Amino acid sequence: LVAAVQVCAGADKAENLDRAESLVVEASRQGARLVVLPEVFAWRGERSLEPEMAEPIPGPISKRCAALAQRLAIFLVAGSLLERSDEARSFNTSLLFAPDGQLLAAYRKLHLFDVDIPGHVTVQESATRRPGNAIVTADTELGRIGLSICYDLRFPELYRALTLAGAEIIAIPAAFTFPTGAAHWEILVRARAIENQVYVIAADQIGAAPSGVTDFGNSLIVDPWGTPIARAPDGETVVVAQVDRDRQQRIRRELPCLQLRRLLIPSLPDIGHADET
């Protein structure tokens, strides 16, 4: 079993962490062995405060997540948190912890959300955050897990690269805005699953952030055939679904799209690969 946690994080870090932890505990109680938290699950506040809210890794948030994974004996994708860097801008970083609390992988968001949709949403993520430079996967007993974050969802070449690196399950922690989410969220999540014949765990924020942006929710778990096998209702919650690796291998065998590719991904000389931390 795997789980997606849906929260509405605000500017109170302690409150956010307590709420996220209680939902992870609930997911574990339901039998989930892999739990995915949303993007910026620990703190959503004013952009001007991001430099002082960012933390090193390891730091207080990552240590608490490591301890939680160890206590529950689960794999935990700590959605994303703001990682302090050597400049004013922070990395938006997703962490994968093992059941013994070990940090298996850290992924820094590649694609930054710089958009201006008049009357709906205007965000310039790059003003306060730095992009990463590596594609990240990690081997686990549940399968090889690929990491991505939110706006990455619109860049299919990343998901194909993760799949070619062996990913069988891909996590998408997100804070997908309401107007773009209503139009594209489910279509894109299902497309990434279908194209790559992978399980996708897409854990989204829901509700209004202190910045005024409202997020879409509708967290999804989608199977390699593109079928949503779990969907979150409105509100803070957790949804759980079964990952069937035999079914995944059967889909890949019977519809061998990945083997029959004839066009290769153009080389990306500025993007590296990181299999683990």
* Active site members: 39, 109, 150
Euclidean distance between CA atoms 129 and 145, whole angstroms: 25
Paired residues of 200 in beta bridges: 170, 222
171: three-class secondary structure by DSSP: strand
Euclidean distance between CA atoms 61 and 43, whole angstroms: 10
Residue 153, token pair as written in the block: 């969802």
83, 99 contact by CB (below 8 A): no
The residues near 123 (Cβ < 8 Å, ≥ 6 apart) are: 113, 114, 115, 177, 213
Euclidean distance between CA atoms 223 and 200, whole angstroms: 7
